[in-house]
Chains A and B, each alone.
Chain A
Amino acid sequence: MSEPLQDEGTSASEAAANTATTTAPRVLGIRFTGSGSEYFRIWIVNLLLTVVTLGLYFPFAKARRLSYFYSNTVVDGQALAFHGDPWKMLRGFLLLAVLAVVYGVAGRLSPLSGFVAFLVLAAVWPALWRASLQFRLGNTSWRGLRFAFRGDLKGAYLAVLPIYAPLALMLAAQVYFGPPVATQGEPMNAVQAWLIFSPIVVLYLMFPWALALIKRYQHGGYVYAAQQTQLDASGWSFYKLSLKGLGVMLMGLVIVGIVGAAAAFAAQGAFGNDLPKPLLFAALVPLYLIYFALTAPYFTVRLQNLVWNGTHSPAIQFASALRFWPMAGLTLKNWLLTAITLSLYRPFAVVATTQLRLAAVSVSVSGELDSWMAQQPGDSAQNAAGDAAGDFFGIDMGL
């Protein structure tokens, strides 16, 4: 469909020659050159092989997909490269699959075993999350230099604390008072109800703060050459984002409500009171789509801008200028076409979204890139052990 784009890239050596004399920060453009039709072909064959092997091919398919997206993410004329070994990723995949099966079975067997499995999963999740960040970053390179993730284990647990603490409180209250189901004829007393439900409210109030901590942990651990990034974004900015998001959600609800009411009124005129149910259902679907084409992209756009505009290191500054309406339009289009084609449009949707999101990002670098050197790995024994665990299992939870 579209012509190959890779010829446009200037060779790295030419680009380097241009920067050699300048000292002011240089803006590196980011382009995504992937094509939907090519990714469609990769996706179909990957899917077939995954189905035929009963899922065992999944890590290999994932490695190929990441390689395709990386080799099409061109930063200043040079693409990213994915170095992950799919055989290691298979180990991580099997480990996660076993965890998921144990968790699912435990939940079905009895509430107690489900509870214990939940606690175990919650306890290991931050460690797995960190290992997967280490694996992904450690297997990504640009200009031959590997990235790294240097967040520590303690930080991973601290980042999820605002979610874990109220959850633990809620579970403890439930264990102490029994499940919050109003048994017949015996209403829950007020203290009991307060103890069980107030942590839920706390959980919602904590969420933006938790998101801030999680993003600060992630964006504070990225390492390239001698540069380690940090995220400058206040907790308040995440609260503002959530409040605005809530506003957009309410606005979406109001729009859907008004349109829905008008449609129902019009339909009543046409059919009388005897409205056919399938018609009502069919009318709800597009409304639902519009609703999700507003709120989800709003969060995506604002979060990407907030987080990447705040990410920098001494010599690197990221910038993101993603706009809401193009993203909302694309999301609606992707949703509709994916649903109509019974998910066959999905690879095109993924490529188009990646293209839009990456086109909004740029990086400015001060200093001479050519003189940047890889750091000696393993400057602390603890880090090396964590790296090894993540690397041995090839844990990669992200998509």
Chain B
Amino acid sequence: MNDVAPRLHLDYFDGRSAAAQTADIWIEAGQLWLQSPLVRLSYPLAAVRWPERQRHGQRQVLLPDGGVLSCMQAAAWDDWARAALLPESATVRWMQSWRLVATAFALLVVLTIAGWRWGVPAAAHGVMALLPAAADARVGAQALASLDQQMLKPSALKPEQQRAIAQRFAEAVALADRQIGPLPDYRLHFRAAGKALGPNAFALPGGDIVLTDDLVRLMDDTPDALVGVLAHELGHVRHRHGMRSVVQAGLVGVVAGLVIGDFSALLAAAPAVLAQAAYSRDFEREADDDARRLMLAAGIKPRVMVAFFERVAKEQPSQMPIAIASHPANEERIRFFSD
């Protein structure tokens, strides 16, 4: 009766002795049967761990009692498995077909792009909802303290000039507040910075906005442009961009680390750096959008920003290509504020 079921000749180890026995196996009545010169055993099919089909390496069957069947001839195993109607998982079929692997690769690329474009920002959004605003304030205060220690000096501007700029911005914010909804709290700081920062303004998490003396001097004749710059920074504060970029770069870093981190920490760090730049371009667009709306609400023509972009571009003539630069290309921003 056993002759009906296809048989396979292989090595059998009983799990107690290192000695190999030669054995025949076959499947009958929902059981795997094993016959060696010493024993005859049977196991329910579901309790056996079957090997996955692969072109290289030995096929090993792990038996529930600790025994191991080992088959050196892959072709013989495959013939037997097919004849014995052993089921094969879809995963294994995918892995053994170059066509399906190419499909999997294409899917992976699409998923990576989608995850980068929408997944990471959405996940960061979720994380941000859990992070209390107090955390932003603490991070911002620490950052400002360490910047003050290392890069920034007290402003050399006259107090009345500082007051005038702050006043002008506060009035614009108050006007906009009434028309386009509540704007976040902010604290404006005037600082002298070295050549590295040049004419610059930046927002820290929690609402600290720093304006450098060089920028104030650069836009001395068009105070409305300074309002626009500060409105842009207020946009960063409103969207919590500082914390979001930390969270998003962290998420990208974790994912990249999972994929290639065990090979090279350096290569795994590259996506995080690129992500920082790419996402920050989105943030700049968002902040530009906020700035334009605030200016319109405060009765300032967004066109005044064109002068600002042109002068800043003259100060820093070297522009990095858009893939690495953190700000959108100047022409794009000039067009945005000209309309």
- Chain B residues 226 to 273 lying within 8 A of chain A, measured CB to CB, are 250, 258-260, 262-264, 267
B19 at the interface (CB under 8 A from A): yes
Contact partner of A144 (CB less than 8 A), chosen from B66, B101, B107, B135, is B66
Q: Is the CB of B57 within 8 A of A6?
A: yes
Q: Is the CB of A346 within 8 A of B104?
A: no
Of B68-76, B164-172, B305-313, B330-338, the one contacting chain A is: B68-76
Complex CA gap A236/B274 in Å reads 44
Contact partner of A58 (CB less than 8 A), chosen from B16, B66, B258, is B258
B323 at the interface (CB under 8 A from A): no
Q: Is the CB of B68 within 8 A of A45?
A: no
Q: Is the CB of A144 within 8 A of B68?
A: yes
State the Cβ distance, A276 to closest chain B Cβ, in Å. Answer: 10
A338 at the interface (CB under 8 A from B): yes
Name the A residues within 8 Å of B264 (CB-CB).
Answer: 335, 338
| A110 to chain B: closest residue by CB | B138
Q: Is the CB of A16 within 8 A of B19?
A: yes
B158 at the interface (CB under 8 A from A): no
Name the B residues within 8 Å of A5 (CB-CB).
Answer: 56
Q: Is the CB of B60 within 8 A of A79?
A: yes
- How many B residues, CB 8 Å from partner? 53
- How many A residues, CB 8 Å from partner? 62
Q: Is the CB of B91 within 8 A of A12?
A: no
Instruction: Please classify the interface of chain B as helix (H, G, I), strand (E, B), loop, or mixed, using the class held by over half of its residues.
Output: mixed
| A349 to chain B: closest residue by CB | B263
B58 at the interface (CB under 8 A from A): yes
Name the B residues within 8 Å of A343 (CB-CB).
Answer: 259-260, 263, 267
A354 at the interface (CB under 8 A from B): no
State the Cβ distance, A325 to closest chain B Cβ, in Å. Answer: 21
Contact indicator per residue, chain A 322-355, by CB within 8 Å of chain B (1) or not (0): 0000000000000100110001001001100000
Name the B residues within 8 Å of A41 (CB-CB).
Answer: 95-96, 98, 101
Contact partner of B263 (CB less than 8 A), chosen from A81, A144, A346, is A346
Complex CA gap A184/B147 in Å reads 12
- Chain B residues 11 to 30 lying within 8 A of chain A, measured CB to CB, are 11, 13-22
Q: Is the CB of A45 within 8 A of B95?
A: yes
A364 at the interface (CB under 8 A from B): no
A320 at the interface (CB under 8 A from B): no
State the Cβ distance, A194 to closest chain B Cβ, in Å. Answer: 24
State the Cβ distance, A73 to closest chain B Cβ, in Å. Answer: 8
Name the B residues within 8 Å of A74 (CB-CB).
Answer: 58
State the Cβ distance, B332 to closest chain A Cβ, in Å. Answer: 22
Q: Is the CB of A35 within 8 A of B55?
A: yes
| B262 to chain A: closest residue by CB | A399
State the Cβ distance, B123 to closest chain A Cβ, in Å. Answer: 10
State the Cβ distance, A111 to closest chain B Cβ, in Å. Answer: 10
| B76 to chain A: closest residue by CB | A7
Name the A residues within 8 Å of B44 (CB-CB).
Answer: none
State the Cβ distance, A185 to closest chain B Cβ, in Å. Answer: 11
Q: Is the CB of A71 within 8 A of B60?
A: yes
State the Cβ distance, B205 to closest chain A Cβ, in Å. Answer: 12
A68 at the interface (CB under 8 A from B): yes
Complex CA gap A324/B55 in Å reads 31
Name the B residues within 8 Å of A45 (CB-CB).
Answer: 91, 94-95, 101, 104
State the Cβ distance, A24 to closest chain B Cβ, in Å. Answer: 19
Q: Is the CB of A6 within 8 A of B56?
A: yes
Q: Is the CB of B15 within 8 A of A145?
A: yes
Complex CA gap A371/B98 in Å reads 45
Complex CA gap A222/B65 in Å reads 23
Can you offer 28 A-B residue contacts whose CB atoms are under 8 A? A4-B55, A5-B56, A6-B56, A6-B57, A12-B11, A16-B20, A33-B56, A44-B104, A45-B95, A49-B91, A51-B115, A78-B11, A78-B70, A81-B60, A83-B49, A143-B13, A144-B18, A144-B68, A146-B66, A338-B263, A343-B259, A346-B260, A350-B263, A370-B17, A370-B19, A373-B17, A373-B18, A374-B17
Add 19 more A-B contacts to A6-B57, A79-B60, A346-B260 (CB < 8 A). Answer: A6-B58, A11-B22, A13-B20, A33-B56, A34-B56, A42-B95, A44-B104, A50-B258, A51-B115, A58-B258, A79-B58, A79-B70, A108-B135, A143-B13, A143-B20, A145-B15, A338-B260, A343-B263, A370-B19
